[in-house]
């Protein structure tokens, strides 16, 4: 609880350009949580360096991710918006939680296996303990709910296990968080391979629609989207490409699958692809315009970074100090 209000925490990595999957599965929904929860929204740059980053690009994308938070409708007066590395308590709590996390638990993490296979030349300790830092992110703020994608649910479950283990030794230390998985936009698939998730790290840029793509680029990418030879616009097993496009169209319009099927009855895939591209581009246009305004005033953005970090650190310090006292650490004021 934060001043009697339940707490929500979310974070997005500033690695790669954010996609419509990030927008529909996360950013688009974030502002609605502000009415119900005290929200902490973090640019998780410390997580990003588990994979080698180009320093200039990491800096640029850190600014851009914070700007996209705000452009997507997050009011800095209602939400705490900040950069992870600006709040040192994240790293400090992560070390303590490492000592309450079992090697076997981390070795079973699906994302570690996936990323190890993808980055075989850089299987570092940070990649292995990534879920512990994520647990630190969440537990620092006594978080009640964590909006996440399906692929992060395992990490939140581990976070709960860690918190419960600490609580068994030091009662009532941490709030046990609950994951919230959105029922819309939960998994936007690649336009080139609809059997795999759309990823900001995909080397095939035609497979991915980025939040900052211009309208012509968006429509061109949708026109090239993989479909099937059936030519009927309906949601059905075995029609992965069309199912993905229907899902995207549904997310942007709020229409049901049945309504979409009726709307495009008798029409071809070309018409449907164009329509999906149009609604996507139209929805992103105001976000892009606001993003450019925010990014044009970097000084103001840095002021917000500092303000958000101070707000977050104030809350985080209380949790960290409480645990340090319980552990027996000597604290000198």
Distance CA 170, CA 268 (A): 62
Residue (of 74, 76, 94) closest to 84 by Cα position: 94
- pLDDT 10s digits, 271-282: 999 999 999 999
CA dihedral of residues 239, 240, 246, 249 (deg, nearest 10): -150
Residue (of 139, 138, 137, 39) closest to 90 by Cα position: 137
Q: Is 200 a catalytic residue?
A: yes
pLDDT value of position 109: 84
pLDDT value of position 34: 83
- pLDDT 10s digits, 109-120: 887 777 777 777
Mean pLDDT score, 82-105: 97
The values of phi and psi at residue 8, to 5°, are -120, 140
Three-state SS at 189: strand
Three-state SS at 121: coil
Q: Is 118 a catalytic residue?
A: no
Catalytic hit among 6, 187, 197, 255:
197
- pLDDT 10s digits, 3-42: 778 999 999 999 878 899 989 888 888 888 888 899 999 9
pLDDT value of position 4: 77
pLDDT value of position 184: 58
Q: Is 326 a catalytic residue?
A: no
Catalytic hit among 6, 200, 255, 307:
200
Judged by average pLDDT, the poorest of 108-117, 211-220, 239-248, 303-312 is 108-117
Q: Cα dihedral sign for 269, 274, 278, 280? A: positive
pLDDT value of position 14: 92
Mean pLDDT score, 137-141: 97
Q: Cα dihedral sign for 52, 54, 59, 65? A: negative
Residue spans of the domains in the chain: they are 7-181+297-327, 205-291
- pLDDT 10s digits, 37-79: 999 999 999 999 988 899 999 999 999 999 999 999 999 999 9
Categorize the per-residue pLDDT at 183 as very low, low, confident or very high, splitting at 50, 70 and 90: low
pLDDT value of position 144: 96
Q: Does domain 7-181+297-327 have CATH number 3.90.1200.10?
A: no
pLDDT value of position 201: 80
Distance CA 18, CA 28 (A): 12
Categorize the per-residue pLDDT at 186 as very low, low, confident or very high, splitting at 50, 70 and 90: low
Catalytic hit among 6, 28, 78, 115:
115
What is the dotted CATH code of the domain comprising 205-291? Answer: 1.10.240.10
Average of per-residue pLDDT values in the chain: 92
Three-state SS at 199: coil
Q: What does the DSSP 8-state code read for residue 37?
A: S
- pLDDT 10s digits, 221-253: 999 999 988 889 999 988 999 999 999 999 999
């Amino acid at each position: 609880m934060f001043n009697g209000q339940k707490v929500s925490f979310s974070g997005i990595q500033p690695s790669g350009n954010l996609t419509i999957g990030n927008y529909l599965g996360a950013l688009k929904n974030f502002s609605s949580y502000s009415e119900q929860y005290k929200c902490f929204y973090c640019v998780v740059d410390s997580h990003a360096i588990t994979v080698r980053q180009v320093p200039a690009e990491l800096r640029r994308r850190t600014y851009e991710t914070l700007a996209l938070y705000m452009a997507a409708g997050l009011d800095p007066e209602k939400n705490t918006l900040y950069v992870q590395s600006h709040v040192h308590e994240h790293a400090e709590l992560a070390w303590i939680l490492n000592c309450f996390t079992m090697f076997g638990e981390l070795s079973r993490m699906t994302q570690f296996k996936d990323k190890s296979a993808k980055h075989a030349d850089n299987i570092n300790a940070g990649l292995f303990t990534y879920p512990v830092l994520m647990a630190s992110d969440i537990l620092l703020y006594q978080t009640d709910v964590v909006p996440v994608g399906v692929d992060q649910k395992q990490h939140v479950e581990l976070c709960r296990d860690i918190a419960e283990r600490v609580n068994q030794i030091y009662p009532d230390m941490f709030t046990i968080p609950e994951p919230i998985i959105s029922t819309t936009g939960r998994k936007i698939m690649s336009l080139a391979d609809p059997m795999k998730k759309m990823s900001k790290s995909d080397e095939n840029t035609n497979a991915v629609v980025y939040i900052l793509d211009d309208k012509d680029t968006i429509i061109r990418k949708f026109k090239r989207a993989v479909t099937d030879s059936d030519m009927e616009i309906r949601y059905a097993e075995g029609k992965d490409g069309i199912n993905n496009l229907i899902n995207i169209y549904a997310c942007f319009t709020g229409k049901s699958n049945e309504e979409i099927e009726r709307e495009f009855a008798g029409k071809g895939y070309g018409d449907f692809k164009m329509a999906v591209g149009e609604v996507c581009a139209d929805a992103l246009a105001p976000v892009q315009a606001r993003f450019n305004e925010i990014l044009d005033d970097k000084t103001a953005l840095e002021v917000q970074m500092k303000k958000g970090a101070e707000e977050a650190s104030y809350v985080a310090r209380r949790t960290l100090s409480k645990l340090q006292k319980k552990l027996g650490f000597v604290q000198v004021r």
